[in-house]
Structure 1
Amino acid sequence: MKKSSIKIVLAFVMLAVIATSCKKSTKKEAATPKTVYASDVIPFFNDWSLILGDGSNVGQAINFENKDYFYTVKDEKDTWVVFKSPNAGDTHGTSNNTRTELAQSKKWYPMTEAKLKANLKVMNVSSTGDATVAASYAVVVGQIHSADKHENEPLKIFYKKFPGHTKGSVFWHYEINTLGDDNSKRWDYSSAVWGNDFSIVGSDANTYPEEPTEGIELGEEFSYSVDVKDGIMTLVFTSEGHETKTFTKNLIKTDYASKDDISQQTKDMFFPVGQDGVERANAYADEGCFFKLGCYNQTNGKSPDVNKNWCSGADTYDGDLKKQYETGNYAEVWFNKAKIYVSPNAISNQEYFTKND
């Protein structure tokens, strides 16, 4: 064989080896895709501590995932952060309910400025519960929480959908900062955003009220913004195809100084279970507050005989996580956008976590 022919053959062999090597490298890269973490989707995790649905405190959830409770998914148009909580499991602090939720690592006072914005969609609420219990089939997707004294909640944003309904309701709560040392008499006042408020329940355990006409479906996006400044909380709720709703609430001066100031809604819901307190005159003015965001499941397995508003009597399978997920007995919320403003006057919230972890 001529030398020129040998050179040509060798050249073809080398090209074949290179091509094969490239193919092998490509296959190897495709087999190990890069993990997309929640902190890649919403880059604000330096400001939060993550609590999981098993009661554990993760701390800062940077480059973190847990496939049972907290991870990312991609739909046809976006990447989302998934927060998931069963009806029963180990809980954080003194709560009866599980949560996979971010808690702000600093606290601030209502006379300063604090802001939180989020875009989300609720993907699941519990498939079981007592329809006469207001908390059944509900999940809290955003909060302001007090870090001090009674540790009450001047804001809770709910989504609730009864089984068999296409549309659910979005509503928000103000919980009084109870006067005195006995916090057992605290209560919530509920305001409807789209659909019904907290007070609309079934006529018996398995009979549901009429479906709301202006509700939000599972998987339908909506947004909320919370702006606290000079003691006034302003809430704005938006969703495509729905009327934008705005609310304001004074956090430093009570509307509930006497029982004559309390609404009929509260008297009907909470007075029968002994929750009939009044609020301190300056409400939350002297208390450090902080934001929460995520999936705080309101449905639990406790008997309604304990509390007709908050104990759902739902299926929990003795806390078996896999069984609860298989049967729809959990809450799941997806976020794709969120933003927080932290006041320069905010201070460490570590004391709250030390008390409640």
Structure 2
Amino acid sequence: MFAIMIGALLFLKSCKDIKQDVSKANEKASKGIVANDVIPFFQHWNLILGDGSNVGLATNYENENFFYVTNDGKSNWVVYKAPNAGDTHGTSNNTRTELAQMKKWYPATANDKLTATLKVMNVSATGDARVASTYSVVVGQIHSADGHENEPLKIFYKKFPGHSKGSVFWHYEINTAGDDNSGRWDFSTAVWGNNFSVVGSEVNTYPEEPKDGIALGEEFSYEIEVKDGIMRLKFMSEGHETKTFSKNLIVSEYTTAADIPKQTQDLFVPIGQDGAERSKAYAGEGLFFKLGSYNQTNGKSPEVNKNWCSGAETHGGDVQKQYADGNYAEVWFKTASIYVSDAAVSNEGYFAKND
């Protein structure tokens, strides 16, 4: 019996040593490695942190609160974290740790592409479930550097508390006609799961869980290509149907009130966002890619805007307290690539206006 007990103790110690060895190996795998070692494309981007600062090129950079490399036991990943509240960049209500392309390109003559493989690890634990943006994060964008600086593409991940699966969807924001941009609105298209318009009936009452959703920690990939005025999107994830979409960025389909889709009539028109789009949409404006963790949950009152103001916990902007109780967005990227056409030009003017 004594020999058996000794054997069991040695076995348990061996298992513990193996776990410690694996942990040390993982620590060693990421120690001393910076983001550009994992995804060698950071020379194309400025990095905006979750405290609102633009740190510029991130080719040899890390920040323990917002941007660093980790290892999941199989691969190195670049981590982007953004709390529910803190200093923001430009005119946004929301924090972000996000790359912004240093060049811009014009959709009519573009031949530009962004790809990424990622997994969302956390979305906010709190917020008003009736607010469409609550519990969501944007993981990829096309942004305009000119005019109203609107966004022809935002790729979202959203998961309600208590659900095991979340939704991936993408938005097109109109490039509002005229000088007044207050009437701008988004149209949301589901990839896997639901679109933006599916919300809770009460502050803490959630809709039915999506059947074909994506879990936290589940990998998916996207490809964004803009060529000759057409944006083409491709979404892939193991075990899920591959989805493709296209959208004309230089000819609008939303130039009159009669063109406003029912989704928009239900979601945006009641709060006064009922604008029409320029007939040429984003033609003539410089566009650029973004990638990272753009947290769509914030602490502003839903009375301000029932689609974008979440009423979430922010602990007065204390980042560590938000991280401690799950009030942040965290996205890990394993691979990514960017193709920049020869026609692209400097995007310095955008950063000069917004930093």
TM-score past 0.5 threshold: yes
Q: How far off is 1:262 after superposition?
A: 1.1
The yes-or-no answer on 1:53 pairing with 2:41 is no
Q: 1:184 aligns with which of 182, 185, 208?
A: 182
Compute the TM-score of the two structures, normalised by the length of structure 1.
0.91
Q: Where do residues 151-230 of structure 1 align in structure 2 (5 Å cutoff)?
A: 151-230=149-228
Q: Counterpart in 2 of 1:109?
A: 106
Q: Counterpart in 2 of 1:100?
A: 97
Q: Which amino acid aligns with 2:141?
A: Q
Say which SS state the counterpart of residue 217 (structure 1) adopts. coil
Gaps of 5+ in 2: 1-26
Q: Where do residues 323-338 of structure 1 align in structure 2 (5 Å cutoff)?
A: 323-338=321-336
Q: How far off is 1:41 after superposition?
A: 0.3
Instruction: Map Cα deviations across residues 217-250 of structure 1 (whole Å, 9 max, x no partner).
Output: 0000000000100100000000000000000000
Say which SS state the counterpart of residue 265 (structure 1) adopts. helix
Q: How far off is 1:76 after superposition?
A: 1.8
Q: Counterpart in 1 of 2:15?
A: none
Q: Which amino acid aligns with 2:55?
A: V
Q: Which amino acid aligns with 2:52?
A: G
Corresponding residue pairs, total: 328
Q: Where do residues 7-26 of structure 1 align in structure 2 (5 Å cutoff)?
A: none
Q: 1:256 aligns with which of 239, 254, 257?
A: 254
Q: How far off is 1:34 after superposition?
A: 5.0
Q: How far off is 1:110 after superposition?
A: 0.5
Gaps of 5+ in 1: 1-29
Q: Which amino acid aligns with 1:50?
A: L
Distance (whole Å) between structure 1 residues aligned to residue 242 and residue 78 of structure 2: 25
Q: Where do residues 201-350 of structure 1 align in structure 2 (5 Å cutoff)?
A: 201-350=199-348
Q: How far off is 1:93 after superposition?
A: 0.3
Q: Which amino acid aligns with 1:218?
A: L
Q: Which amino acid aligns with 1:310?
A: W
Q: Which amino acid aligns with 2:134?
A: S
Q: Where do residues 75-154 of structure 1 align in structure 2 (5 Å cutoff)?
A: 75-111=72-108, 112-154=110-152
Distance (whole Å) between structure 2 residues aligned to residue 155 and residue 145 of structure 1: 7
Compute the TM-score of the two structures, normalised by the length of structure 2.
0.91
Distance (whole Å) between structure 2 residues aligned to residue 62 and residue 193 of structure 1: 32
Say which SS state the counterpart of residue 252 (structure 2) adopts. coil
Is the radius of gyration larger for structure 1 or structure 2? 1
Distance (whole Å) between structure 2 residues aligned to residue 66 and residue 287 of structure 1: 33
Instruction: Map Cα deviations across residues 249-304 of structure 1 (whole Å, 9 max, x no partner).
Output: 00000010111111100000000110000000000011000000000000000000
Distance (whole Å) between structure 2 residues aligned to residue 62 and residue 139 of structure 1: 24
Sequence identity percentage:
72
Q: Which amino acid aligns with 1:133?
A: V
Distance (whole Å) between structure 1 residues aligned to residue 153 and residue 268 of structure 2: 18
Distance (whole Å) between structure 2 residues aligned to residue 234 and residue 40 of structure 1: 29
RMSD (CA atoms): 1.2
Distance (whole Å) between structure 2 residues aligned to residue 272 and residue 168 of structure 1: 27
The runs of at least 4 aligned residues of structure 1 exceeding 4 Å deviation read none
Q: Which amino acid aligns with 1:174?
A: Y
Distance (whole Å) between structure 2 residues aligned to residue 263 and residue 213 of structure 1: 25
